[in-house]
């Protein structure tokens, strides 16, 4: 029971972090049709900027660094995203979707290298602030870290804020319209390039915020983008391209799936044995039957991606495929 | 009276080009004979086959794939197991034919994965290839019996009976094996572009709906092209297994898939010889440049993005555009702008290299201290004077490059207009 | 005229004949270091390349091999066997004849194989490979070869010592094994189960886990499993970030088990343990700074002052001792002669006498079991990573006790 509750909490907190990332990606994709390969790179830049800002500010005003970075770093990443859109993506936009995708792909390479040039190849000591370090509550005998609780709080607040913006503000209405009918929005005369820039900046700011929150919980080092990059694509595709609610459900699903799978040592050989079959090392395909779920855990999200794309390309709640 | 006349002229140009290519492949190691150069040439040969196979689906088939290394990697694994079986005496196959094992394996997996991936082109195809690539990479660590786990599978290529004294121990023998396979594959893939399947693949790329109207099943066409492409990718994998004598999970990784995409795009996906150029450039960056600087991936990334933004047709298109200008005898007008752009570009490049190399050296931070070698000079990367110099060079280079670039763009535009006028005049005269 | 020519010829000949002797023990010997300087294990790699460069300076300054200057040239292999082989080609082209590597038995196995193949195909350009930390036992058993020398005690030797110590502790009842999923991790798991069954059949192994190497950022799911299994003891061969993050996750979750590790003294783990690890963590190693046979204070403090880092890879000291003594014995820096000279060589290192056993090229040396304790100025003088805590010896096995038999049957080249 303890294992179940603890894994549930961990899975949800990891899933919410994935959602912070996937929401920005979904927004950018829905608005502009661009699958931003460099999204995870902005996540990484957010973490590094938060580290740098909090280190500098802690030297001047001890204890405030992290909180100020929490506000400044996402804004900086958003500004960076807007610049990238204005001077890079916009130029490539006229040639179609494939060059845009390739541009963001190349950008992801460059950002990783820039980060290594500025901060080096080793992990940087971006730490959880002491106020948030420690246990929030105890489940049976396991402590639930306060920082995880904070992560979940920020993610939920952010989701609520996006929902408010999309449904209650004018900009939000335009974005909602563009989610379903981008060409019509253009035809209606909105300053589409500016909306694009703001959307891209906003999406990358969300990724930056995810970086500020996630960088100190998980290690801040140059390969952090590659690790999370592929998973958020799985989330966006499984949830449905263009659907925020779908992205939310998919991120929770994948977060829980990955957390629980590691804890379960069940293998098909066990099932076959209970059905009466003799399974031993000499059985053909023994290496497949003896695979435990915990060993298969890394593969599960991609298996899900492939299955969804084959069987239901729209995703769980998607409105369109392309 | 019943004799028909058949006029089939010998395409002298084609024989000349292919002959020259074969000659070049044969002669290169004699010009660059150091051990390092032979390794470099061997890796270029492998990458050429891989990039050409990728272009079959990318440039000719219009399918952007992020998981092509799956076919070459799985081919490599099968090839290295075959090599081990040959070494143990369980398989009687000459080492020369081992890449064929890789090719067949690649084609088999092309059939398996291709069936599910080719239903759609465009973004869904890209996503599903990404998913399959990551899936195979993650799965490769789950089956250590076949994939060898973290350490991979090693082998020895000096097995079997030596043929005419060739054991494939020395690097130069491996190079000639790779060169022979590379030439054969180049010929085969070029011939493929002239087959009906190759032509219809182009049609499906440009307008799948129209291709269906004339009676071709777009999914079937894509599927066949993917299978053939996977066959050649598997051959590249088999050559890699022989060259490196080790195959690890990295061979099926997203990094390799990304690399071949970069190489093909940089070279130019619209022309057959584009990926050949791209493969040479990519291996040069990855193998040769990486010996001189740790920031080679940064330079490669910047080069790639510059290509995407300014020359999406790749280096091949740049070459051909300039050849077109030269053919119309207008190249003289571009000589000064080119000189200006190249010179200012060189200054800009120097500034960027100085800043990047010094930053890298400082952040890498081990015992060696802040002394480093830059362009052959010994500099102290922590000293502010050198940073001011670097910043100055960078600023000078950036501003002069921008000025020269605008001048070049003006002149280029004028040249293009002049060419159009020439063509119109010729058309008008006739 | 002829007399002058004769004199010139005699002079030239004598210079040429004298040169090998004169230069045999002078000049610079470059040693290539191949290990990760990027990725999750970068901090570990940085510490180790500094240790090698520090030891090289020491050996050069104190003239351990006469006038020979040692220089360490680093190569980043990103923990990948393929990258290591590419680096090896570059090393061959640069004419470097000695390589050292230690992080990752997967890399070590690939390198050992590649070096043997290279040496066989390129007589006259042989390379000697000193393995200073990759301890998969197969490297000195089934996969042994003449050009590979193991400076660290191998995994079976360490587990033998660890389980002997654990056999005397009645509070150990339920053991959990968690290791990295590669050759070395598998060997730790196998040895732990086998030796525990032999020495403490009453102890129950309540769970086994293998996780991907240098990939996992968050060990909370694994810690949850350990808790669910009710283990009171954890045996792990994890090193670098994998151990540091595991300990951090265990601390965060409030796991109250004792850790028996191989590498809790390596970069990252001390900071993760901190005060919470006191008396809960033990490691098995060939040395630690608080129990040094030879006074290690100048070395440890010198390293701390120069790099603000801890010196614990004492295999670097042993490595240079072996190389230097072998070079003096062989009167040459030629790798083949040095390799033959190193076989059976006995040197004095910081942990006492070390013998490079000729049968399998496994260094025989003392084994220490130590526990993480607060610095008290007496038994624990040096701390690690500025935590205020360091290692205290709990048990020490002489080298002949820890020694293991070997199945190695290596082919030796013709002596030169």
Per residue in A199-226, pLDDT (tens digit) is 899 999 999 999 999 998 888 888 889 8
Task: Inspect the interface and report whether the beta carbons of A295 and C210 lie closer than 8 Å.
Answer: yes
Partner residue opposite A234 with nearest CB, options B131, B132, B295 = B131
Distance (Å, rounded) from C-alpha B34 to C-alpha B290? 17
Partner residue opposite A142 with nearest CB, options C38, C209, C224 = C224
- pLDDT band at A179; cut points 50, 70, 90: low
Shared domain for B97 and B52, answered yes or no, is yes
Shared domain for C161 and C274, answered yes or no, is yes
Shared domain for B270 and B125, answered yes or no, is yes
Interface test with B, best of A306, A313, A318 (most B CBs within 10 A): A306
**C11 inside domain:** no
C-alpha B355, offset from chain centre: 29
Question: Which chain C residues are closer than 8 Å to B169 by Cβ?
Answer: 121
Shared domain for C166 and C287, answered yes or no, is yes
SS3 A66: helix
| Alpha-carbon distance values, C171 to B15, B199, C14, C158, C202 (Å) | 83, 76, 73, 21, 12
**C10 inside domain:** no
- Beta-sheet pairing, C128-131 with C148-150: parallel
Supply the DSSP string of C309-369, one letter for each residue: S----THHHHHHHHHHHHHHHHTS--HHHHHHHHTT-EEEETTEEEEE-TTT-BEE--EEE
Question: Which chain A residues are closer than 8 Å to C241 by Cβ?
Answer: 123, 219
**C168 inside domain:** yes
Distance from CA of B170 to the nearest CA of A (A): 36
Task: Inspect the interface and report whether the beta carbons of A143 and C253 lie closer than 8 Å.
Answer: yes
Shared domain for C259 and C380, answered yes or no, is yes
Distance from CA of B169 to the nearest CA of C (A): 7
Question: Which chain A residues are closer than 8 Å to C38 by Cβ?
Answer: 116, 121-122, 222
DSSP C130: E
Beta bridge mates, A145: A135
Taking a contact as any Cβ pair under 8 Å apart, which residues of chain A between 175 and 234 contact chain B? Answer: 226, 230, 233-234
Domains contained in chain C, number: 2
Judged against a pLDDT cut of 70, whether residue B60 lies above it is answered with yes
> Of C97, C88, C101, C96, which Cα lies nearest the Cα of C132?
C101
**C18 inside domain:** no
Please check whether residue C214 touches A, CB under 8 A: no
Task: Inspect the interface and report whether the beta carbons of A305 and B364 lie closer than 8 Å.
Answer: no
Of the candidate ranges B155-164, C172-181, C216-225, the one whose mean pLDDT is the lowest: B155-164
Distance from CA of C394 to the nearest CA of A (A): 30
**C13 inside domain:** no
Please check whether residue C87 touches B, CB under 8 A: no
SS3 B247: strand
Supply the DSSP string of C197-235, one letter for each residue: HHH-TT-EEEEEEEE-TTT-S--HHHHHHHHHHT-SEEE
**B214 inside domain:** yes
Interface test with B, best of A99, A115, A117, A229 (most B CBs within 10 A): A117
* Phi and psi angles of residue C173, each rounded to the nearest 5 degrees, phi first: -125, -40
Please check whether residue A222 touches C, CB under 8 A: yes
DSSP A61: S
Write the Ramachandran bin of C386: left for phi over 0, alpha for psi from -120 to 50, otherwise beta: left
Shared domain for B297 and B373, answered yes or no, is no
Distance (Å, rounded) from C-alpha C201 to C-alpha C71? 50
Q: What is the CA radius of gyration of chain C?
A: 23
* Phi and psi angles of residue A123, each rounded to the nearest 5 degrees, phi first: -70, 145
Distance from CA of B124 to the nearest CA of A (A): 7
The whole-number average pLDDT for the span A125-154 is 85
Task: Inspect the interface and report whether the beta carbons of C117 and B245 lie closer than 8 Å.
Answer: yes
Question: Which chain C residues are closer than 8 Å to B364 by Cβ?
Answer: 37
Residue that finishes a domain, picked among B280, B312, B344: B312
Distance (Å, rounded) from C-alpha B48 to C-alpha B21? 13
**C22 inside domain:** no
Structural domain harbouring C284: 156-292+366-402
Residue of higher predicted confidence among A297 and A37? A37
ipTM: 0.88
Q: Of all residues in chain B, what percent are helix, strand and coil, respectively (each to 5)?
A: 75, 5, 20
Judged against a pLDDT cut of 90, whether residue A53 lies above it is answered with yes
Shared domain for C32 and C112, answered yes or no, is yes
DSSP B4: P
Distance from CA of C253 to the nearest CA of A (A): 5
Distance (Å, rounded) from C-alpha A210 to C-alpha A24? 10
Scanning the structure block, which residue is given the tokens 């894509």?
A: B222
**C379 inside domain:** yes
Task: Inspect the interface and report whether the beta carbons of C38 and A227 lie closer than 8 Å.
Answer: no
C-alpha B184, offset from chain centre: 17
Shared domain for B172 and B67, answered yes or no, is yes
Distance from CA of B367 to the nearest CA of C (A): 6
Please check whether residue C218 touches A, CB under 8 A: yes
Task: Inspect the interface and report whether the beta carbons of C183 and B151 lie closer than 8 Å.
Answer: yes
Shared domain for B270 and B146, answered yes or no, is yes
Beta bridge mates, C261: C236, C283
Task: Inspect the interface and report whether the beta carbons of C54 and B367 lie closer than 8 Å.
Answer: yes
Interface test with A, best of C103, C218, C227 (most A CBs within 10 A): C218
C-alpha B253, offset from chain centre: 17
Question: CATH no. for residue B136?
Answer: 1.10.3470
Shared domain for C229 and C352, answered yes or no, is no
Distance (Å, rounded) from C-alpha A166 to C-alpha A245? 12
* Phi and psi angles of residue B374, each rounded to the nearest 5 degrees, phi first: -130, 120
Helix or strand (DSSP H, E) at C104: none
- What ranges in chain A are assigned the alpha helix state H? 2-32, 39-60, 65-84, 90-93, 97-119, 146-168, 170-180, 182-187, 192-215, 224-239, 244-263, 268-274, 286-289, 293-296, 300-311
Name the burial class of residue A299, with classes exposed (0-12), middle (13-18) and buried (19+) by CB atoms within 10 angstroms of its CB: buried
pLDDT tens digits, one per residue of B103-135: 999 999 999 999 888 887 778 888 889 999 999
Distance (Å, rounded) from C-alpha B126 to C-alpha B71? 15
- Beta-sheet pairing, C98-101 with A142-145: unpaired
Task: Inspect the interface and report whether the beta carbons of A117 and B360 lie closer than 8 Å.
Answer: yes
Q: What is the pLDDT of residue B430?
A: 59
Shared domain for C271 and C321, answered yes or no, is no
Q: What is the pLDDT of residue B1?
A: 57
* Chains with 3 or more CB pairs under 8 A to chain B: A, C
Cβ neighbour number for residue C16 with a 10 Å cutoff: 9
Task: Inspect the interface and report whether the beta carbons of B135 and A302 lie closer than 8 Å.
Answer: yes
Please check whether residue A263 touches C, CB under 8 A: yes
Contact C110, C377 (CB under 8 A): no
C-alpha B373, offset from chain centre: 31
Query: Which two structure tokens, joined as six digits, stand for C246?
Result: 């595991």
* Phi and psi angles of residue B166, each rounded to the nearest 5 degrees, phi first: -90, 120
**B254 inside domain:** yes
Question: Which chain B residues are closer than 8 Å to C110 by Cβ?
Answer: 151-152, 154, 246
Shared domain for B302 and B357, answered yes or no, is no
Distance (Å, rounded) from C-alpha B257 to C-alpha B272? 20
Beta bridge mates, C235: C177, C260
What's the pTM value of the predicted model, to 2 decimals?
A: 0.89
Task: Inspect the interface and report whether the beta carbons of A309 and B127 lie closer than 8 Å.
Answer: yes
Shared domain for B36 and B126, answered yes or no, is yes
Domains contained in chain B, number: 2
* Chains with 3 or more CB pairs under 8 A to chain A: B, C
Shared domain for B38 and B155, answered yes or no, is yes
Distance (Å, rounded) from C-alpha A204 to C-alpha A224? 16
Contact B95, B168 (CB under 8 A): yes
Task: Inspect the interface and report whether the beta carbons of A3 and C224 lie closer than 8 Å.
Answer: yes
Task: Inspect the interface and report whether the beta carbons of B363 and A91 lie closer than 8 Å.
Answer: no
Q: What is the pLDDT of residue C305?
A: 92
Per-residue b or e along C206-225, where b marks 16 or more CB atoms closer than 10 Å to that residue's CB: bbbbbbbbbbbbbbbbbbbb
Please check whether residue A119 touches B, CB under 8 A: yes
The whole-number average pLDDT for the span C213-241 is 90
Cβ neighbour number for residue B174 with a 10 Å cutoff: 23
The whole-number average pLDDT for the span C315-332 is 94
**B5 inside domain:** no
Q: What is the pLDDT of residue C276?
A: 84
**B4 inside domain:** no
Task: Inspect the interface and report whether the beta carbons of C217 and A7 lie closer than 8 Å.
Answer: no
Task: Inspect the interface and report whether the beta carbons of C227 and A116 lie closer than 8 Å.
Answer: no
Shared domain for C77 and C148, answered yes or no, is yes
Distance from CA of A258 to the nearest CA of B (A): 13
Shared domain for C115 and C226, answered yes or no, is no
**B139 inside domain:** yes
Shared domain for B306 and B336, answered yes or no, is no
Helix or strand (DSSP H, E) at C20: helix C2-24
pLDDT tens digits, one per residue of C248-297: 899 888 888 999 999 999 988 998 888 888 889 999 999 999 988 778 88
HSE toward the beta carbon, residue C278, CA cutoff 13 A = 12
Judged against a pLDDT cut of 60, whether residue C316 lies above it is answered with yes
Distance from CA of C46 to the nearest CA of A (A): 9
Interface test with C, best of B254, B289, B367 (most C CBs within 10 A): B367
Q: What is the pLDDT of residue B291?
A: 77
pLDDT tens digits, one per residue of C331-367: 999 999 999 999 999 999 999 999 999 999 999 999 9
Task: Inspect the interface and report whether the beta carbons of B152 and C110 lie closer than 8 Å.
Answer: yes
DSSP C279: T
The whole-number average pLDDT for the span A7-16 is 90
% residues pLDDT > 90 (chain C): 66
Of the candidate ranges A289-293, C201-205, C245-249, the one whose mean pLDDT is the lowest: A289-293
Distance (Å, rounded) from C-alpha C127 to C-alpha A79? 53
Cβ neighbour number for residue B55 with a 10 Å cutoff: 28
Distance (Å, rounded) from C-alpha A290 to C-alpha A268? 6
Distance (Å, rounded) from C-alpha B233 to C-alpha B52? 9
Judged against a pLDDT cut of 80, whether residue B370 lies above it is answered with no
Shared domain for C190 and C316, answered yes or no, is no
Task: Inspect the interface and report whether the beta carbons of A7 and C224 lie closer than 8 Å.
Answer: yes
Residue that finishes a domain, picked among B312, B336, B364: B312
Beta bridge mates, C50: none
Task: Inspect the interface and report whether the beta carbons of A123 and C42 lie closer than 8 Å.
Answer: yes
Task: Inspect the interface and report whether the beta carbons of A101 and B64 lie closer than 8 Å.
Answer: yes
Distance (Å, rounded) from C-alpha C332 to C-alpha C326? 9
Residue that finishes a domain, picked among B287, B312, B337: B312
**B7 inside domain:** no
**C416 inside domain:** no
C-alpha B318, offset from chain centre: 16
Task: Inspect the interface and report whether the beta carbons of C217 and A143 lie closer than 8 Å.
Answer: no
Structural domain harbouring B382: 328-429
Name the burial class of residue C309, with classes exposed (0-12), middle (13-18) and buried (19+) by CB atoms within 10 angstroms of its CB: middle
Scanning the structure block, which residue is given the tokens 């004699």?
A: B30
The whole-number average pLDDT for the span B337-349 is 91
The whole-number average pLDDT for the span C195-218 is 90
Contact B390, B361 (CB under 8 A): no
Partner residue opposite B301 with nearest CB, options A110, A296, A313 = A110
Distance from CA of C182 to the nearest CA of A (A): 13
Q: What is the pLDDT of residue B2?
A: 66
Judged against a pLDDT cut of 60, whether residue A109 lies above it is answered with yes
Q: What is the pLDDT of residue C1?
A: 47
Distance (Å, rounded) from C-alpha A5 to C-alpha A12? 11
Contact A62, A89 (CB under 8 A): no
Task: Inspect the interface and report whether the beta carbons of B265 and A102 lie closer than 8 Å.
Answer: yes
Partner residue opposite A2 with nearest CB, options C37, C218, C228 = C228
Shared domain for B174 and B241, answered yes or no, is yes
Q: What is the CA radius of gyration of chain B?
A: 25
Cβ neighbour number for residue B421 with a 10 Å cutoff: 10
Shared domain for C228 and C188, answered yes or no, is yes
Question: CATH no. for residue C47?
Answer: 3.40.50.2300
Shared domain for C172 and C82, answered yes or no, is no
Q: What is the pLDDT of residue B165?
A: 79
The whole-number average pLDDT for the span C87-107 is 92
Supply the DSSP string of C144-193, one letter for each residue: --TTEEE-SPPHHHHHHHHHHHHHT-TT--EEEEEEESSHHHHHHHHHHH
Shared domain for B41 and B117, answered yes or no, is yes
- Residues 6+ positions from A259 with CB-CB distance below 8 Å: A7, A10, A11, A14, C220, C221
Contact B45, B182 (CB under 8 A): yes
Shared domain for B237 and B337, answered yes or no, is no
B154, closest residue in chain C (CA to CA): C110
HSE toward the beta carbon, residue B351, CA cutoff 13 A = 19
Question: Which chain A residues are closer than 8 Å to C76 by Cβ?
Answer: 121
DSSP B163: B
Shared domain for C268 and C322, answered yes or no, is no
Distance (Å, rounded) from C-alpha C134 to C-alpha C104? 6
């Amino acid at each position: 029971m303890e294992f179940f509750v603890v894994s549930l909490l961990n899975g949800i907190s990891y899933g919410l972090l994935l959602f912070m990332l996937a929401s920005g990606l979904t927004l950018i994709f829905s608005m502009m049709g661009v699958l931003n390969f460099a999204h995870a790179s902005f996540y990484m830049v957010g973490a590094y900027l938060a580290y740098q800002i909090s280190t500098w500010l802690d030297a001047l005003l001890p204890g405030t660094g992290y909180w100020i970075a929490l506000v400044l770093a996402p804004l900086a990443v958003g500004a960076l995203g807007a610049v990238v859109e204005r001077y890079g993506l916009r130029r490539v936009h006229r040639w179609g979707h494939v060059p845009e995708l390739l541009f963001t792909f190349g950008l992801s390479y460059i950002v990783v290298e820039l980060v290594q040039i500025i901060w080096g190849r080793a992990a940087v000591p971006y730490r959880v602030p002491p106020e948030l370090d420690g246990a929030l509550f105890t489940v049976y005998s396991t402590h639930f870290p306060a920082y995880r609780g904070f992560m979940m709080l920020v993610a939920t607040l952010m989701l609520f804020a996006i929902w408010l913006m999309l449904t209650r503000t004018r900009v939000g209405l335009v974005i909602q319209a563009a989610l379903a009918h981008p060409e019509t929005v253009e035809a209606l005369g909105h300053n589409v390039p500016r909306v694009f820039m703001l959307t891209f900046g906003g999406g990358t700011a969300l990724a930056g915020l995810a970086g500020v929150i996630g960088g100190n919980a998980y290690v801040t080092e140059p390969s952090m983008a590659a690790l999370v990059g592929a998973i958020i694509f799985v989330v966006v595709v499984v949830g449905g391209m263009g659907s925020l609610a779908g992205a939310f459900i998919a991120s929770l699903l994948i977060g829980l799936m990955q957390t629980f799978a590691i804890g379960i040592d069940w293998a098909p050989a066990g099932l076959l044995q209970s059905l009466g079959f003799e399974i031993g090392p000499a059985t053909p395909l023994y290496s497949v039957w003896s695979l435990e779920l915990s060993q298969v855990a890394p593969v599960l999200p991609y298996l899900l991606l492939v299955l969804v794309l084959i069987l239901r390309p729209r995703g769980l709640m998607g409105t369109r495929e392309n | 009276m019943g004799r028909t006349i058949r006029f089939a002229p010998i395409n002298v140009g084609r024989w000349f080009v292919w002959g020259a290519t074969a000659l070049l492949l044969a002669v290169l190691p004699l010009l660059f004979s150091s051990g390092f150069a032979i390794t470099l040439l061997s890796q270029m040969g492998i990458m050429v086959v891989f990039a050409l196979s990728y272009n079959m689906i990318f440039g000719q088939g219009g399918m952007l794939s992020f998981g092509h290394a799956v076919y070459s990697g799985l081919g490599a694994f099968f090839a290295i197991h075959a090599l081990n079986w040959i070494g143990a005496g369980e398989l009687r196959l000459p080492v020369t034919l081992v890449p064929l094992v890789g090719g067949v394996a690649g084609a088999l997996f092309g059939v398996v994965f291709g069936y599910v991936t080719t239903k759609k082109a465009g973004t869904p195809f890209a996503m599903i290839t990404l998913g399959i690539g990551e899936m195979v990479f993650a799965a490769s660590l789950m089956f250590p019996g076949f994939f060898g786990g973290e350490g991979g599978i090693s082998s020895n290529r000096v097995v079997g009976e030596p043929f005419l004294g060739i054991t494939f121990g020395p690097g130069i023998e491996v190079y000639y094996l790779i060169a022979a396979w590379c030439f054969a594959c180049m010929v085969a893939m070029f011939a493929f572009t002239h087959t009906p399947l190759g032509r219809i693949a182009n049609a499906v790329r440009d307008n799948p709906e129209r291709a269906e109207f004339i009676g071709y099943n777009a999914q079937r066409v894509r599927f066949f092209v993917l299978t053939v492409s996977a066959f050649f990718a598997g051959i590249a994998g088999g050559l890699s297994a022989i060259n490196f004598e080790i195959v690890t999970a990295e061979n099926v990784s997203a990094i390799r898939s990304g690399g071949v995409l970069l190489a093909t795009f940089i070279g130019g996906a619209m022309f057959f010889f584009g990926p050949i150029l791209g493969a040479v450039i990519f291996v040069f960056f990855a193998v040769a440049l990486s010996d001189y600087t740790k920031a080679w991936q940064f330079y490669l990334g910047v080069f790639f993005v510059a290509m995407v933004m300014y020359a999406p047709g790749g280096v091949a298109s740049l070459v051909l555009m300039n050849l077109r200008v030269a053919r119309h005898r207008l190249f003289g007008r571009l000589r000064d702008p080119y000189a200006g752009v190249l010179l200012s570009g060189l200054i800009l490049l120097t500034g960027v290299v100085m800043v990047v190399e010094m930053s890298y050296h400082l952040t890498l931070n081990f015992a060696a201290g802040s002394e480093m070698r830059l362009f052959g000079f010994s500099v102290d990367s922590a000293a502010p004077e050198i940073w001011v110099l670097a910043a100055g060079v960078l600023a000078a280079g950036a501003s002069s490059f921008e000025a020269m670039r605008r001048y070049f763009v003006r002149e280029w535009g004028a040249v293009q207009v002049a060419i159009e006028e020439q063509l119109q005049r010729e058309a008008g005269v006739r | 005229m002829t007399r002058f020519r004769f004199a010139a010829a005699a002079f030239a000949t004598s210079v040429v004949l004298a040169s090998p002797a004169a230069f045999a023990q002078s000049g610079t010997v470059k040693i290539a270091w191949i290990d990760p300087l990027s990725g999750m294990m970068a901090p570990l790699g940085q510490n180790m390349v500094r240790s090698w460069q520090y030891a090289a300076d020491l050996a050069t300054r104190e003239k351990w091999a006469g006038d020979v200057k040692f220089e360490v040239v680093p190569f980043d292999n990103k923990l990948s066997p393929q990258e290591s082989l590419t680096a090896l080609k570059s090393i061959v082209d640069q004419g470097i004849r000695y390589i050292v590597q230690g992080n990752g038995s997967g890399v070590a196995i690939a390198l050992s194989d590649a070096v043997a193949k290279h040496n066989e195909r390129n007589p006259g350009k042989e390379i000697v490979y000193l393995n200073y930390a990759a301890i998969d036992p197969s490297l000195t058993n089934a996969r042994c070869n003449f050009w590979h020398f193991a400076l660290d005690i191998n995994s079976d030797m360490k587990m033998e010592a660890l389980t002997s110590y654990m056999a005397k502790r009645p509070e150990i009842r339920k053991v959990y094994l968690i290791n990295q999923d590669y050759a070395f991790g598998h060997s730790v798991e196998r040895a732990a189960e086998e030796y525990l069954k032999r020495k403490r059949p009453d102890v129950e192994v309540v769970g086994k886990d293998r996780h991907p190497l240098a990939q996992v950022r968050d060990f909370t799911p694994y810690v949850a499993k350990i808790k669910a299994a009710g283990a009171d003891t954890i045996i792990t061969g994890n090193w670098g970030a994998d151990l540091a993050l595991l300990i951090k996750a265990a601390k965060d979750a409030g796991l109250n088990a004792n850790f028996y590790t191989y590498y809790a003294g390596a970069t990252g783990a001390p900071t993760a343990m901190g005060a919470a690890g006191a008396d809960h963590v033990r490691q098995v190693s060939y040395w630690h700074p608080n129990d040094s046979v030879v006074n290690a204070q100048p070395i440890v403090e010198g390293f701390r002052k120069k790099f603000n880092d801890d010196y614990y890879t004492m295999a670097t000291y042993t490595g240079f001792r072996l190389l230097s003594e072998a070079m003096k014995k062989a009167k040459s820096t030629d790798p083949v002669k040095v390799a033959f000279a190193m076989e059976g060589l006995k040197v004095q290192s910081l942990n006492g006498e070390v013998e490079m056993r000729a049968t399998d090229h496994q260094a025989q040396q003392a084994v220490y079991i130590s526990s993480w304790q607060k610095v008290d100025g007496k038994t624990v003088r040096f701390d690690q990573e500025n935590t205020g805590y360091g290692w205290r010896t709990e048990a020490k096995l002489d080298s002949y006790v820890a020694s293991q038999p070997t199945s190695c049957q290596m082919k030796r080249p013709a002596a030169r």
